[in-house]
Amino acid sequence: MPVTTLAHQPPQIVKANGIDICYEIFGDANAEPLLLIMGLGAQMIHWDDEFCRQLGARGFRVIRFDNRDIGKSARMTGGKRLTAFELLKLRLLKIPVAAPYRLIDMARDTVGLMDALGIRTAHLVGASMGGMIAQEVAISFPERVRSLTSIMSTTGNPRIPGPTREAGAMLMAPPPATKEEYFVRFAQTWKVLRNGSFPEDEALDAERARRTYERGLNPAGVGRQLRAILASGSRKERLRAVKAPTLVIHGTVDPLVHPEGGRDTAASIPGAKLLMVEGMGHALPIPMWPQIIDAIDKHAHGAAAKAA
Strands 122-127 and 32-37: parallel
Residue 1 lies in a domain: no
Distance of CA 294 to the CA centre of its chain: 18
- Per-residue pLDDT tens for 275-294? 999 999 999 999 999 999 99
Residue 145 lies in a domain: yes
| Alpha helix positions (H), 144-288 | 165-172, 179-194, 199-215, 219-232, 259-268
Residue 214 lies in a domain: yes
Instruction: Give me the domain span that covers residue 48.
Output: 8-307
pLDDT of residue 89: 65
Residue 190 lies in a domain: yes
Q: Given pLDDT bands bounded at 50, 70 and 90, which one contains residue 152?
A: very high
Q: Given pLDDT bands bounded at 50, 70 and 90, which one contains residue 134?
A: very high
What is the CATH classification number for the domain harbouring 275? 3.40.50.1820
- Per-residue pLDDT tens for 211-255? 999 999 999 999 899 999 989 999 999 999 999 999 999 999 999
The Cα–Cα gap between 283 and 152 comes to: 8
Residue 52 lies in a domain: yes
pLDDT of residue 91: 67
pLDDT of residue 262: 98
User: Which pairs from 103-107 meet CB under 8 Å and 24+ separation?
Assistant: 103/129, 103/132, 103/133, 103/136, 103/228, 103/229, 103/232, 104/136, 104/140, 104/232, 105/17, 105/68, 105/228, 106/67, 106/68, 106/133, 106/136, 106/228, 107/133, 107/136, 107/137, 107/140, 107/141
Residue 66 lies in a domain: yes
Residue 2 lies in a domain: no
pLDDT of residue 173: 87
First vs last C-alpha separation in the chain = 36
pLDDT of residue 305: 76
- Per-residue pLDDT tens for 30-66? 999 999 999 999 999 999 999 999 999 999 999 999 9
Domain count, the chain: 1
Q: Given pLDDT bands bounded at 50, 70 and 90, which one contains residue 144?
A: very high
- Per-residue pLDDT tens for 71-125? 999 999 987 777 776 776 666 667 777 889 999 999 999 999 999 999 999 999 9
| Alpha helix positions (H), the chain | 49-56, 84-88, 103-116, 129-140, 165-172, 179-194, 199-215, 219-232, 259-268, 289-307
pLDDT of residue 156: 95
Distance of CA 36 to the CA centre of its chain: 7
Q: Given pLDDT bands bounded at 50, 70 and 90, which one contains residue 307?
A: confident
Residue 206 lies in a domain: yes
pTM value is: 0.94
